[in-house]
Amino acid sequence: MPTPSDAESGSDSALTLHSLLAERRHLLNLGYRMLGSVQEAEDVVQETYARWYALSEEGREAIAAPEAWLTRVASRICLDHLASARMRRERYTGEWLPEPVRHSATWSSTDAAHAGDPADRITLDESVSMGMLVVLETITPAERVAFVLHDVFGVPFTEIAETVGRTPAACRQLASSARRRLARERTGSSTTPEHRRVVSAFREACETGDLGALVDLLDPGVKSRSDGGGKVRAALRPVLGQDKVARLVLGLLRQEPEVELVEDDVNGAPGLSVRIAGTTVAVLSMGIRDGLIADLWLVVNPDKLRAWTRYGTE
């Protein structure tokens, strides 16, 4: 199979090496928001390029907008992945949470079009937040694809229709339905300084073992969800309420006296990485509402922490 370097060899190539590399980042960003998994997003990108290079040279040159073609193909692959992922996650041990990512600059970009109604747009930074990704898991695959393509990346509904096999009007309804679900279920937004202040106070309460201070940081209806994937011990169901969540957190920390809590960037927002001897063993992100923690998302599945383990001491 030809490689991306082959695209540079001829002046008549539909895509140059430079544009291929730039488009790869775009497709990876797209795939992660569609699937909530870095590994699955990388698989989608690989399959997309495999299909591109499976075309004849004449076939590639006949495509007037290669970047749009790659986006459409990647989105179709994501749609298929989402359908099968639902069945896999029904067999998943415990709660399934999106894979947390570091260094939000890697997952942000200015390449999205912003034509149309700005009210129907969200920023790339917002779209990678853990709260957003968790809610996206609750909508249908078609709704997710339509919403991500249009509201995040600015793809027109006429093009989305080709991807999901529905009319532009139907795709508009899909995105609108997803938007309403997100508005109902997402944790209230907070400013970055406020979010950072709450995270810092949470860390301090955990380090001192101050149960009262920890309870005071939690919303009365706080929900804690943990993802161990059956590979690491974790709560199999959500834990609800201030006292139960606070005791759960402190109980987990008491089991590991050498644990270190490090304030870190988690999906573009302040969060915590939990380290033992310099190795990240858990990543904690929070949804803040009115200055209190309304959601705790704890990822301890080692398969979802490979990047964090590799760069845990950076």
Q: Write out pLDDT tens, residues 206-258.
A: 999 999 999 999 999 999 999 999 888 888 999 999 999 999 999 998 888 78
Q: Which amino acid is at 37?
A: S
Cα–Cα distances (Å) from 188 to 59, 135, 185, 192, 301, in that order, read 48, 13, 9, 13, 27
Tell me how far apart the alpha carbons of residues 284 and 268 are, in angstroms, rounded to a whole number: 13
Report residue 79's pLDDT band, with 50, 70 and 90 as the boundaries: very high
Cβ atoms 236, 298 nearer than 8 A: no
Instruction: Give the whole-angstrom CA distance, residue 285 versus residue 263.
Output: 10
DSSP for 107-150, written as a single string: G--S-S---S-GGG---HHHHTSHHHHHHHTTS-HHHHHHHIII
Q: Where are the beta strands (DSSP E) in the chain?
A: 218-227, 239-240, 259-266, 269-276, 279-289, 292-299
Neighbours of 189 (CB within 10 A): 13
Q: Return the top range by mean pLDDT from 85-89, 208-212, 306-310.
A: 208-212
What is the mean predicted confidence (pLDDT) over 95-105? 84
pLDDT of residue 282: 95
- Give the pLDDT mean for 143-152: 96
Confidence of residue 310 (pLDDT cuts 50, 70, 90): low
Predicted confidence at residue 256, as pLDDT, reads 82
pLDDT > 70: percent of the chain: 85
CATH topology of domain 192-310: Nuclear Transport Factor 2; Chain: A, (3.10.450)
pLDDT, residue 2, reads: 46
Q: Tell me: the pLDDT tens digits for 265-283?
A: 999 899 999 999 989 999 9
3-state secondary structure of 36: coil
Q: Where in the chain is the domain with CATH 3.10.450.50?
A: 192-310
Assign 189 a pLDDT band (cuts: 50, 70, 90).
low
The mean per-residue pLDDT over the stretch 287-314 comes to 85
| DSSP secondary structure, 147-188, as one string | HIIIIIT---HHHHHHHHTS-HHHHHHHHHHHHHHHHHHSPP
| Of the candidate ranges 59-68, 78-87, 149-158, 180-189, the one whose mean pLDDT is the lowest | 180-189
* Res 16: pLDDT: 66
The whole-angstrom separation of Cα 34 and Cα 137 is 9
Which pairing describes strands 269-276 and 279-289: parallel, antiparallel, or unpaired?
antiparallel
Give the pLDDT confidence score for residue 89 in this predicted structure. Answer: 79
Helix axes 17-35, 66-90, angle to 10 degrees: 30
